[in-house]
Homo-oligomer: A and B are copies of this chain.
Amino acid sequence: MSMRGLGMELRCRCIQTESQRIGRLIESLEIFPPSQHCKDTEIIATLKGTGQEICLDPNAPWVKKVIERILANRKP
């Protein structure tokens, strides 16, 4: 679940992260490094079709693997 677009940019955007492996549903990923507004890295996935935005856990092994696949020019 993401708080983007709700005027909450001065705090963390994610209040919970997706635990299921939704790699195949990912249209794109947005990654926000730690900042003065949020001490934790945040990853927001936009899903295919619906455009739904879902927060992912940067520490989850499956999330790291999905990003590695994408960087290797493969589909997530």
Q: Are B33 and A26 in touch, CB under 8 angstroms?
A: yes
Please tell me which one of the listed residues B27, B67, B75 contacts residue A71 in the complex, with CB atoms under 8 A apart.
Answer: B67
* A: number of interface residues (CB 8 Å): 24
Any chain B CB within 8 A of the CB of A8?
Answer: no
Please tell me which one of the listed residues B31, B72, B74, B75 contacts residue A29 in the complex, with CB atoms under 8 A apart.
Answer: B31
Q: Given the complex of chains A and B, what is the CA–CA distance between A64 and B71 in angstroms?
A: 8
Q: Given the complex of chains A and B, what is the CA–CA distance between A40 and B27 in angstroms?
A: 13
Q: Which residues of B contact A40 (CB under 8 A)?
A: 73
The contact string, 1 if C-beta is below 8 Å from chain B, for chain A 17-59, is 0000000001111111111000011000000000000000011
Q: Given the complex of chains A and B, what is the CA–CA distance between A67 and B30 in angstroms?
A: 11
